[in-house]
Structure 1
Amino acid sequence: MDLEGETFHHPYSPYETQLQFMRALYTCLEEGKVAVFESPTGTGKSLSLICGSLTWLRDHKRRALQEAVDKTGGDDDDPDWMVEFAKRESSRAATEKIREFEKRLAKTRQAEERLRRGQESSQRPQKRQKVESESVDDTLQNESQFALDDYESDREERSGPLAEPEQFEGLSADTLALLERFKGKASAVTEAEDSDDQDVKIFYCSRTHSQLTQFAHELQRVTMSSSLPKDLIADALGEDTELAERIKHLSLGSRKNLCINPKVLALENPTAINERCLDLQKPGQSADKKCPYLPSKDTDAKILEFRDHTLASIKDIEDIGKVGKQLGICPYYASRSVIKNTEIVTLPYPLLLQRSAREALHLSLKNHIVIIDEAHNLMDAISNIYSAKVTLVQLQTAISQLTTYARKYQSRLKGKNRTYVAQVIRMVSSIAVYLKSIQEKKNPQEGTLQASDLMSGKGVDQINPYKLSQYLQESKLARKVDGYIEFSKQEPGHGSKERSHTPVLFHIQSFLLTLMNPSVEGRLFYHQLQGDVQLEYMLLDPTNHFREIVESARAVILAGGTMSPMSDYLNHLFSYVPKSRIDTFSYGHVIPSENLTAQSLVRGIQGSEFDFTFEARSSEKMIIDLGRTISALCEAIPDGVVAFFPSYDYLDHVMSVWKKPSTSEPGQSILSMLQKKKPVLYEPRGGTMKTEELLQEYSNAIETGSGALLLSVVGGKLSEGINFSDRLGRGVLMVGLPFPNIRSAVWQAKIQYVETRAYEQASGPEDARKQASKTAGREFYENACMRAVNQCIGRAIRHLNDYAVIVMIDKRYNSTRIQAKLPAWIRQSLVPGTPDRRTQAVVQDLSRFFAKRGAS
């Protein structure tokens, strides 16, 4: 197929890099590939993803429909007129079905537009549901509702599912895997469901709802041709007839984003909202206590109307919520019925990456397309979703709450309930005692530990962890205890009626289930905090948790502005995928190459060698030279300059040195010298100033003509998602390399895990396997650092006419190995450097660069 610009229905005239991107994407989807795409921000990546994927989808549907029509021709011995008649009837039916649906959506959209035009003057207030006038606490009638139901099951496996999928929401995939031991293969919805008869869909995922909202706005710009073959339309409607077919889009969100029940939404905490929502659906709940917005057999007409409004135009998550409110139907649950009619579904990371969330939403990815945008932190995101933390203070609070509950309901705790509640208290107490001992013995600030260390309390070794985890799920103990504690606070004589921000028992339950998880891919760590100890289960290897997505989907696309270095995705996320199925693509910027210059700076203006390794970076002489060097660079770079430092601690140390009075120039300091060149602002630790306020102050200083120097931190709020375009970022300075703390227990465990895997997978002599192991560990460590670097230095160039300089200040940036991990579009603008090249030469280059662009 000839994939030219017009083929992709791009709303503008695409650049050559965009065309290359869309062609490659189309081919990957057609061939069912797993691919990583790197395209700098400002190159129209979102539109390229939309146009490339939707063009393929419509082509695929068109071919599938044509094949279906061709198969309706009858047997080989049927007369030609009968074969042609059957094909025409099939064409007519397919065309009519799409046309009628489009007419229905068009009518709905017209109604929406009329409503929007008359909203300010003539819209009548919506009829309030009875539930809106009820208090948030109306469901809390008496304490008897918090008593545990009789629990007699003592089997490790059951013939049916443990619970509805919604009740698993919030649990990690590791935990779900453990619960599968009891569930067998039963599940309300599984990835193995046969979805071959469903139309292929695109599941587009990004990190935040704001990014998905931006994507929806881009989607509004695109108009695609019909999925019906032209011949079919001509046969059914006439030669000159066109059939417009709008893009069918659905934005999915969590209950927190989509709940419209005011008394549930008032709880604010996502876990509390989930639990209250499920409470209102419990069997046996009286009609007046159930959620009035929940879809039912009596609301089919509303659900159909919800579908039509959702698909009539491109809507973001807020729009979906408004549709639910207007119709009086829960958008969280009503959205599920819309999925089958959509072409592209957008959803945030957790809803796609967590198996429990996919099950709750009834999502099957089998044979569909998965596109994950802003995927540079995908591996970390997966690990975070499947990790769990709990503190000593939380454990102690949980013991208190469980004990209070057990005393209150002592007479009602019978049979297995009495046994298991006692076991939960013993287990939580055992963990708390161990953490307390770490605190009292003045152990190192952090370290690793074994699950057996936590289970050393009296009688804990007699607890069957699998039965206990089954009990925690089935009995809803955490929900009952938390409900009772909140209820008791509302009785006369008890203090504040405010709900605690985090229901502690839910945290504890999640952690306990993770603790009982036999996964070898995770480790347990402790971290001593001020007056507390944190216990953390961390997933070290995301491979298996993403594998079910890769193996279910037809194609998986990871895309981002800075995906380099890409080797981690191949080695640690797709190691099991055949090489023939994997592709990687890195595209240049849309700017002319002369609009960017990147330089490595090895020596300062006073001759110091810039070595910001952990051992050498405290040198005051080098830090003073750094200040003078940045001052010289600021003189050459107009407007805004953003400098990134490896950590808050190091920025604080640098600032303390820069504030000291100079010995050679009394009354002067490095900071005051910098401020003479440009006002200096810096990103404070702990968020004492809001990011918006800091950026506004920075922008105002640049608008006055004085320019500004903004000191930022890698991994801080300014290192991702902030666009320093045009005058806001004429220069980006990268001070040092932000390597993670290799001495930390977490990073030692990560590297050890990577090295062990590499050793096991290597072949050949022992020495070769050891070398492969060490190389894998070093690569993993360097890649983590360089991904952070690439995110920061990618902040500068944001559109076609933008221009900027990038200066990387550290002798290690002169290494070919480090330079190879930079994005291709930055490497091609990298000025060759030498170990002896000093600041003066770099400053001269930068001055010439800006002089050519008329900047001063």
Structure 2
Amino acid sequence: MFPNTTEQARDRKREDEVSNRRRNSLLPIRSHIPRTILLHVKLLYCTRTVHEMEKTLAELRFLHRYQLQHLGPSARILALGLSSRKNLCINPSVVSAAENRDSVDAACRKLTASWVRSLAVENLNIPTCSFFEDYEKAASNAVLPPGVYTLQDLRAFGKEKGWCPYFLARHMVQFSNVVVYSYQYLLDPKVAGIILKEMQRESVVVFDEAHNIDNVCIEALSVSVRSQTLEGATRNLNKMSHEIERAIVLKGMYGLGWYETKGKLLKVQAKRLIPQCIRAPWGGFKATDAGRLRAEYNRLVEGLAQRGNLPNTWLSNPALPDDILKEAVPGNIRRAEHFLSVLRRLVQYLKGRLQTENVEKEGPVTFVASINAQVGIDQKVLRFCYDRLHSLMMTLEITDTDEFLHIQTICDFATLVGTYTRGISIIIEPFDERMPNIPDPLSCHDASLAIKPVFERFQTVVITSGTLSPIDLYPRLLNFNPVVSRSFTMSLTRDCICPMVLTRGSDQLPVSTKYDMRTDEGVERNYGRLLLEMVSIVPDGIEIMQHKLVFIETEDVVETTLALDNYRKACDCGRGAVFFSVARGKVAEGIDFDRHYGRLVIMFGVPFQYTLSRILIARLEYLRETFQIKEGDFLTFDALRQAAQCVGRVIRSKADYGMMIFADKRYSRHDKRSKLPGWILSHLHDAHLNLSTDMAMHIAREVFYGRWPNHMIRVAVVVRKPYCHKNTWRRWAMAVLGRSNGVAPRHWECDPHWGSSWVDGSGWSKLFKFRFRRMIPPDDLQANPKGNGVVPQ
């Protein structure tokens, strides 16, 4: 065992001894080191992206197969991933017509809502979801057999059985041993309110790659209101008011029947004169019985939180569970027309507040007092806005919820403002040179608000990442006392990473992205020359090319995904490529550039936040006053953890290797460099500090052409079959790897799992694939299009 493995085992044993009490842990572990947490009852594994979720489940499947092989059927578990409808829906009519997550949710509700299904029983022309209907018919028989299911596996299983994989996964969460999903399922109150009630207190919660968990907590309780949001909310209110006014008054009609009004079929059941309205699935409204209105009125009187205002398919209250009022709804918003009048006054008030020429910052208490004084809306009414809106939408049986997102955002804003008196602020900016639209944000500054229910509900919570540095700052940001707080050292079989700090160009001019230096022509020229020189010598894993394709990350997700796919194709075919990404962006946070997809990462500058941002200034002020965290310490900590996350994209396993260049003179300062993770500092030698471009080029040539090729030869994993003489292998290796110095690989290792392997050639820095056609099916062969591969006959 490696020393770090033994150390982790001792810490896990100590953590298990105290696991009967509530325990929260911080564990900075490099991303390619296995993380094994003892399963008490249920493991809730939280990741940041869907890609990481799939990768986690794939690794768990490999481990599960090993357990079944050695322990037998007793080692069977049920593990699955849970994601949104967009990633699990298999209904062609929903997937093909949907553009985003909200539209997928709305299209699903149009087919699966209870009132839609009840009407479809008597009117076969009303469309429904066959997958959901078959899932409902299966009832208790709709279960998943033991195993590990990725999102793709769930979709395939759903198509095979004819069941909806989204609702099946939701149902099987309570029976699963391991559940993998995103942070929002625990930290976002609107989503956590649906999922948390199905989890036992003894469950073990793991937040993986949690270096920015404080930002996720803040985003969960923050709302951005723009002028477009207010205009859209006005349209939503007009539409709802118009449909309510069109309520059909049926006189003297008894019994049940179908009637045609304004070209629409209406199903009516009336035993006395009642003005009523609900929304039909085809877009119109119809009359309904008095029982529905009486039931809604009872919910409002007794309290929505006590009786339950919405089914589990709807999002919950944006406030935390303990902060939701469990009492009757105020009388002035019980009637629909009165409630819409309150929302109109609130929207008009927000429109007036946006028409300002100065930056305004208010606390929630002052803001609520201003609303009450000008438009007559008190704090209690604001707290009930979100629940009252969704109760009205359910009574009207609205299914196209994506059209009412604007008014839902306003109600989120009102509920949070009326609920919390500390930790948030309202910032109104009349102008912002970075954005064309001026937001009116409700900004949360206290990350402990969102994660506090997780600590209180679950017995064991583990926060782990490769960039939890400095580790003592996270308990202060999240306001908890960890029982175990350890940083593990990394033991590698070879020197596979080479970090460097570049402070000046070849002309000895300092390089930095500081505000007073970023526009200097000398800095731009040295940065460009550094990139061009490195491109000319760094291999992409296949071969060396003098010119490489360039791909750039943009704000468009589709465009960025296409650029990333083409980047990988360029590396696979031997052309090579350069990918420009943005720190704190989607690529830098969740995309792995393992193997030949990433051999060098250059960090241009220090990724500080925009220090003139009013939101950041307000948060720094709150951290200083509440947690005694200095502004400079937090800004440096935040920038260095992002830089470490960016450079860590190229090292994803112990078999990988890559170079990292921190191109900014500020990295040479001890206060900046010391906040980098230990796995980087342990390889950052004094000889690699304060370098110029030509010195970095010399080190890069030495590493890529000297040190790493020799290392790769010594640890090269080559399958040598028993019937093949070793001299035959040596001749093949000499023909390919020994062209420059006539030296063949000096060490051979057999791989029991793979029939082929990559070998890096000394002096040529090329990757070649050795394999036997007689032992491996031809379908598995992926020959290099350039013809660099050697296939023994």
Q: TM-score, normalised by structure 1?
A: 0.63
Question: Aligned match of 2:145 in 311, 320, 323?
Answer: 311
Q: In structure 2, what is the Cα distance between the partners aligned to 1:611 and 1:299? A: 59
Describe how 1:11-160 pairs up with structure 2 within 5 A.
17-18=4-5, 20-21=7-8, 24-32=11-19, 33-41=23-31, 43=32, 45=33, 48-49=34-35, 52-53=36-37, 56-57=38-39
2:653 aligns to what? 799
Q: CA deviation at 1:591?
A: 4.6
Task: Tell me if the contact between 1:448 and 1:524 (Cα under 8 Å) persists in the aligned partners.
Answer: yes
377-386 vs 405-414, which deviates more? 405-414
- The AA in structure 2 aligned to 1:371 is V
Which moves more between the two structures, 211-220 or 784-793?
211-220
Assess, with a 3 A threshold, how the Cα gap between structure 1 residues 261 and 628 changes in structure 2: closer, same or farther.
closer
Q: Contact 2:131–2:164 at 8 Å: present in 1 too? A: yes
The question of whether the paired residues in 1 share the 8 Å contact of 2:185 and 2:192 is answered with yes
Contact 2:53/2:180, CA 8 A, preserved across alignment: yes
2:702 to 845, 848, 854: 848
Question: Which residue number in structure 2 is paired with residue 387 of structure 1?
Answer: 222
The residue identity in structure 1 corresponding to 2:138 is: K
> Once structures 1 and 2 are overlaid, which stretch shifts more, 827-836 or 506-515?
827-836
- Residue 585 of structure 2 corresponds to residue 716 of structure 1: yes
Looking at structure 2, the residues matched to 724 and 534 of structure 1 have their Cα atoms a distance apart, in angstroms, of 35
Aligned partner of 1:601 among 477, 481, 502: 502
Distance (whole Å) between structure 2 residues aligned to residue 607 and residue 534 of structure 1: 44
Please name the residue that 1:108 is paired with.
none
For residue 350 of structure 1, report the CA deviation from its aligned partner: 1.4
Which residue identity does 1:281 align to in structure 2?
A: S
Matching residue within 665, 672, 678 for 1:818: 672
Decide whether aligned partners of structure 1 residues 484 and 839 sit closer, same or farther in structure 2, where only a CA change above 3 A counts. closer
Correspondence 1:281 to 2:114: yes
In the aligned structure 2, how far is the partner of 1:204 from the partner of 1:688? 26
Could you say which residue in structure 2 is the equivalent of 1:219? Answer: 60
CA 1:422/1:705 → structure 2, altered by over 3 Å: closer, same or farther?
A: closer
* CA offset digits 1:268-290 (Å, max 9, x no partner): 65456657749823699557289
Shift of 1:803: 2.6
The amino acid of 1:721's aligned partner reads G
Q: Deviations over 1:96-127 (max 9, x none)?
A: xxxxxxxxxxxxxxxxxxxxxxxxxxxxxxxx
Residue 467 (structure 1) aligned with residue 467 (structure 2)? no
Comparing 260-269 and 631-640, the one that deviates more: 260-269
| Count of residue pairs the alignment pairs up | 609
**Structure 2 counterpart of 1:508:** 410
Cα distance in 1 for residues equivalent to 2:606 and 2:4: 30
Structure 1: distance between partners of 2:428 and 2:351: 12
Which whole-Å CA distance do the structure 2 matches of 1:431 and 1:455 have between them?
14
2:43 maps to 1:202: yes
Q: Tell whether the 8 Å contact from 2:469 to 2:641 is kept in structure 1 after alignment.
A: yes
Q: Which amino acid aligns with 2:361?
A: T
Q: Given residue 847 of structure 1, which amino acid in structure 2 is its aligned partner?
A: R
1:247 pairs with 2:247: no
Identity of matched residues, %: 22
Q: Which amino acid in structure 2 is aligned with residue 614 of structure 1?
A: Y
CA 1:206–1:848 in 2, change beyond 3 Å: closer, same or farther? same
CA contact (8 A) 2:86 2:104 kept: yes
Provide the rounded CA distance (Å) in 1 between the counterparts of 2:395 and 2:695.
Answer: 69
Superposed CA offset, 1:683-715 (max 9, x none): 254449833443455456556767544443222
Deviation at 1:794, TM superposition (A): 0.8
| Counterparts in 2 of 1:328 and 1:707: CA distance versus 1, 3 Å | closer
Alpha-carbon shift at residue 786 of structure 1 (Å): 0.8
Q: Deviations over 1:642-681 (max 9, x none)?
A: xxxxxxxxxxxxxxxxxxxxxxxxxxxxxxxxx9954362
Q: CA deviation at 1:730?
A: 2.6
Unaligned runs of 5+ residues in structure 2 are 248-274, 277-333, 710-762, 766-793
Q: Structure 1 residues 299, 261: CA separation in 2 closer, same or farther (over 3 Å shift)?
A: closer
Q: Could you tell me how far apart the structure 2 residues matched to 1:696 and 1:335 are?
A: 30
Evaluate the alpha carbon distance shift between residue 805 and residue 591 of structure 1 in structure 2; reply closer, same or farther with a 3 A threshold: farther
Paired residue secondary structure (1:571): helix
What is the DSSP-based 3-state SS (H/G/I as helix, E as strand, rest coil) of the residue aligned with 1:221?
helix
Distance change in 2, residues 1:222/1:828 (3 Å): same
Secondary structure, aligned partner of 1:715: coil
Deviations 1:191-233 (A, max 9, x none): xxxxxxxxx2111111233322222222222248999xx9xxx
Structure 1 residue 292 displacement after superposition: 7.5
Quote the residue 2:390 is aligned against.
476
What is the CA-CA distance between 1:392 and the residue it aligns to? 1.0
* Cα distance, 1:787 vs structure 2: 1.3
Helix, strand or coil for the counterpart of 1:220? Answer: helix
- Distance in 1 between the 2:573 and 2:238 partners? 63
Give the distance between the partners of 2:530 and 2:374, measured in 1 at CA: 61
Structure-1 separation of matches of 2:654 and 2:352: 60
- Aligned position for 2:480: 576
SS of match in other structure, 2:464: strand
Contact persistence 1:599–1:808 (CA under 8 A): yes
When structure 1 is superposed on structure 2, of 501-510 and 201-210 the one drifting more is 501-510
Candidates 353, 358, 363, aligned match of 2:198: 363
* Aligned 1:532-551 pairs, distance under 5 A: 532-551=437-456
State how 1:615-694 maps to structure 2 within 5 Å. Answer: 615-635=516-536, 637-639=538-540, 678-679=547-548, 681-683=550-552, 685-687=554-556, 690-694=559-563
AA in 2 matched with 1:31:
V
**Which residue of structure 1 aligns with residue 290 of structure 2?**
none
Q: For residues 855 and 525 of structure 1, do their structure 2 counterparts lie closer, same or farther at Cα, with a shift above 3 Å needed?
A: farther
Per the alignment, residue 621 of structure 2 pairs with 752
Deviation for aligned residue 1:561 = 3.5
- TM (norm. structure 2) is 0.67
Deviation at 1:608, TM superposition (A): 0.4
Residue 357 of structure 2 is aligned to residue 421 of structure 1: no
Q: Say which of 515, 524, 534 aligns to 1:614.
A: 515
What is the Cα deviation at residue 255 of structure 1?
4.4
Amino acid at match of 2:222: S
Q: Aligned equivalents of 2:536 and 2:92: distance in 1?
A: 56
Task: Please state whether the residue corresponding to 1:733 is helix, strand or coil.
Answer: strand
Amino acid at match of 1:213: E
Aligned positions of 1:331-346 closer than 5 A: 331-335=165-169, 337-346=171-180
Q: Which of 546, 559, 563 is matched with 2:464 structurally?
A: 559
* Partner SS state of residue 849, structure 1: helix
After TM superposition, the structure 1 stretch with the greater mean CA deviation from structure 2, 20-29 or 619-628, is 20-29
The RMSD of aligned alpha carbons is 4.1
Q: Which structure shows the higher helix fraction?
A: 1
* SS of alignment partner, residue 367 of structure 1: coil
Letter in structure 1 aligned against 2:581: S
